[in-house]
């Protein structure tokens, strides 16, 4: 019992930390509660991680590794773009259900009490997916699969916005409740949700070549043939 903690014990501490931070947020999380839930004394957390701040960052990074693996696995398979997107969405939904704490902790990271980590963590967390998605949609655009009327980075941004909200919707209480208000029972059917979001995204990728002529436009990336449909219906 008085030997250095092994990998598994440290992992258990990190898991307990993730659960606690996800449950309360950074500041209200209690180090003593983490220690108790992990079956160790507070002392070891300070010996191994320094202080609460460093422990928090360790928890974030630990959860990042696992999320990364999920993402990579889901994105790895080949196949048509549509199928890949749908697979990614479904994987994220399922991962959010089964590892709710991980996603809930992400939500906590974005909160005000983590303000001083905002820059660092945003860069650490988002730059990977940002680059990945930007490349994906850049290639799609070159292959003529993504409308020329939206820059690939912006498309990647909207895409990730939808994915993040979907993850929160399956792992944080507030967002769960919100999804139920919006979708009713439709929220319960993972396959349906993934299917509809895929359709939504594919529609957005194809773009609407008509009916935007009247809008304020700022340097449209490319002009397109005129619209062949009735122009608009005011509602």
Partner DNA sequence: TATTGACGTGAACAGTCATTCACGTCATGT
Partner DNA sequence: ACATGACGTGAATGACTGTTCACGTCAATA
Closest distance between DNA and the C-beta of residue 12, in Å?
A: 12
What is the token pair recorded at 2?
Answer: 């008085």
Binding flag, residue 109, a copy of itself (CB under 8 A): yes
At CA 138, angle to CA 90 and CA 63, rounded to 5? 40
Contacts of a copy of itself in 180-199 (CB under 8 A): 181-184, 186, 189, 191-193, 195-199
Q: Among a copy of itself, DNA, none, what does residue 224 contact (CB within 5–8 Å per kind)?
A: none
Other beta carbons within 10 Å of 107? 17
Binding flag, residue 222, a copy of itself (CB under 8 A): no
Binding flag, residue 61, a copy of itself (CB under 8 A): no
Binding flag, residue 209, DNA (CB under 7 A): no
Q: Please, which residue, 11 or 203, has the CB nearer to a copy of itself?
A: 203
Cα dihedral across residues 101, 107, 113, 118: positive or negative:
positive
Residues 74/88, Cβ–Cβ less than 8 Å: yes
CA gap 210, 222 in Å, rounded: 14
CA gap 68, 128 in Å, rounded: 9
Can you tell me which of 12, 23, 37, 42 binds DNA, judged by CB under 7 A? 42
Can you tell me which of 7, 8, 43, 181 binds DNA, judged by CB under 7 A? 43
CA gap 180, 184 in Å, rounded: 5
Contacts of DNA in 75-134 (CB under 7 A): none
Q: Among a copy of itself, DNA, none, what does residue 203 contact (CB within 5–8 Å per kind)?
A: a copy of itself
């Amino acid at each position: 019992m008085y030997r250095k903690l092994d990998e598994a014990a440290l992992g258990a501490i990190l898991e307990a930390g993730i659960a606690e931070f996800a449950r309360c947020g950074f500041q209200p999380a209690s180090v003593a509660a983490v220690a108790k839930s992990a079956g160790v004394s507070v002392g070891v957390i300070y010996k191994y991680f320094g202080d609460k701040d460093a422990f928090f960052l360790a928890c974030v990074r630990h959860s990042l590794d696992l999320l990364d693996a999920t993402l990579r696995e889901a994105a790895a398979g080949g196949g048509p773009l549509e199928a890949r997107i749908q697979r990614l969405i479904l994987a994220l939904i399922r991962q959010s259900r089964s590892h709710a704490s991980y996603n809930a902790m992400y939500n906590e990271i974005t909160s005000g009490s983590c303000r001083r980590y905002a820059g660092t963590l945003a860069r650490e967390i988002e730059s990977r997916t940002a680059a990945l998605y930007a490349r994906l949609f850049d290639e799609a655009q070159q292959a003529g699969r993504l409308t020329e009327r939206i820059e690939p980075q912006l498309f990647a941004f909207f895409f990730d916005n939808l994915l993040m909200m979907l993850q929160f919707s399956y792992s944080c209480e507030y967002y769960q409740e919100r999804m139920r208000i919006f979708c009713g029972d439709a929220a319960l059917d993972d396959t349906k949700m993934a299917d509809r979001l895929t359709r939504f995204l594919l529609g957005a990728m194809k773009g609407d070549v008509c009916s935007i002529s009247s809008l304020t436009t700022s340097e449209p990336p490319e002009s397109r043939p005129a619209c062949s449909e009735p122009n608009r219906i005011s509602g």
